[in-house]
Amino acid sequence: MEIKKLAVCGKGGVGKTTFSSVLSYVLARKGREVFAIDADPNPTLAEALGIPDHILADITPIAEMTELIAERTGARPGEYGSFFKLNPRVKDIPDRYAIRYRDIHFLMMGATKKAGQGCACPENTMIKALMSYLIVKEKETVVLDMVAGTEHMGRGTAASVDVMLIVVEPGTRSIKAAKQFHRFARDLAISKICFVANKVRSEKDELFIKKQMLGLDLVGSLPYSDSIIEGERGGIAIYDSDSEYREEVSRILERIGVR
């Protein structure tokens, strides 16, 4: 089966967004139509993709499209308790609202209110339905930059994720968090769960991670690179700023079975 739905998660600041951006470009370079989805409430994927500020300024996150949400769910964000449709029509949204930049289709989900499980507010409903659609129904490749990987995703949707890539860095905290995400992902019955080491500065770092990840599917280690940080400052796509990183991403894709 062809791997098309890739979810990237991991502890805050480990490099999920950096990795997702490069992953998206590498997949696009292979000739795929790629939807890069920023599902982080604190969105930075657009910058990592090198989308220039003037385009960025025009992007409205889906969660903030009040009129659209009201039209599709029958309730306005912020209206609590009224009845609304839990299965809004979202089919047309990826094509209509995604920003096309270089070969990437970019969608920003935006911040939904932090709420307990089972909270069905119009904007949450909309995002959930859209995520579900992108993962289950979308024909093209989808790369998701997420926080924990489980928000907005129920078992029904998770079943269609082809691979979940959990990013770790050489530090006990990120590894501990990664193992927790692993448990979550397994509970959601995600079929393929892999780990990617990032910010690896030395052999020692790599050895440490390998030792910690014993028995788990570690599919690659991305080097720590000053040029990434420099490129970030210059506002250029991370894909363009470091070739070593880029090549390791290609190898990771090969290892998980993407052709």
Partner 1 sequence: MVEVVDRSCSKFSRIKGTRIWILVICLVFNTLALNAHVLDELSVKTRLFVKQEGIDFKLELAPGVLIAEPFLKILDPRQTKEISESGRSAFLNHVIRHMVVLVNHNEVSPDCGFTEIPAISELITGVGTIYLDCRIDGPIPKHAGYDFEYRNSLESGVALYSLHISSDRENQVFITEEERDEITQDSIRFSVKHGFEPGDVGHVWQADLLSSQSPVSNSLGDRISDLAGMKSLLRILKMDRFSPAEMALLLVLAAAAGFLHAFTPGHGKALVGAYLVANRGSVVQAVQLGLIVTLTHTASIYLFGGLSLTATYLFLPSRVIPVLTVASGLLVIAIGLYSLIRRGLKLEVDHAHLLPNFQVFGKGNVNILIDGNAAEATEYFSLAAESESVLYSLAAAGAEDITICSTGCDTHHKHWLRILDENQQLGMLKKAVRTGAVDAFVSRDRSRREKIGDLLRKKGGEVFQPPMETDSAERLLVKIVGRFNRKRTVNLPGNEMTWRHLFSLGFAGGVVPCPDALAILLIAVSMAQILSGLMVVFAFSVGLSLALMLTGVLVVSMGNLTIYSRAAGKITTVVPYLTSLFLTGLGCYIVFNAF
Ligand X SMILES: Nc1ncnc2c1ncn2[C@@H]1O[C@H](COP(=O)(O)OP(=O)(O)OP(=O)(O)O)[C@@H](O)[C@H]1O
Q: Which residues here bind ligand X, judged by CB under 6 A?
A: 10, 12-18, 40, 44, 198-199, 222, 224-225, 228-229, 232, 245
Question: Which residues 3-22 are close enough to bind Mg ion by CB under 5 A?
Answer: 16-17
Q: Say whether 161 sits in a helix, a strand or coil.
A: coil
Of the pair 120, 229, the CB lying nearest partner 1 is at 120
Of the pair 88, 149, the CB lying nearest ligand X is at 149
120: contact with partner 1 by CB under 8 A: yes
Question: Which residues 20-79 are close enough to bind partner 1 by CB under 8 A?
Answer: 73-75, 77-79
Report yes or no: 48 and 18 within 8 Å, Cβ to Cβ: yes
155: contact with partner 1 by CB under 8 A: yes
Q: What's the CA gap between 164 and 22, in Å, rounded?
A: 16
92: contact with partner 1 by CB under 8 A: no
The one of ligand X, Mg ion, partner 1, none whose footprint includes residue 132, by CB under 5 to 8 A per kind, is partner 1
Q: Which helix (H) or strand (E) covers residue 71, if one does?
A: helix 66-73
> 63: which DSSP letter?
G
Q: What's the CA gap between 133 and 222, in Å, rounded?
A: 31
19: contact with partner 1 by CB under 8 A: no
Q: What's the CA gap between 17 and 53, in Å, rounded?
A: 17
Q: Is 57 exposed, middle or buried (0-12, 13-18, 19+ CB in 10 A)?
A: exposed
Please select the residue that binds partner 1; options are 119, 207, 229, 236, rule is CB under 8 A. Answer: 119
Question: Which residues 23-42 are close enough to bind Mg ion by CB under 5 A?
Answer: 40
Q: Left if phi > 0, otherwise alpha if psi is -120 to 50, otherwise beta: which for 25?
A: alpha
Q: Cβ–Cβ contacts within 10 Å for residue 107, how many?
A: 23
116: contact with partner 1 by CB under 8 A: yes
Of the pair 42, 117, the CB lying nearest ligand X is at 42
Judged by the rule CB under 8 A, the positions of this chain that interact with partner 1 are: 73-75, 77-87, 113, 115-121, 128-129, 132, 136-137, 154-157, 159
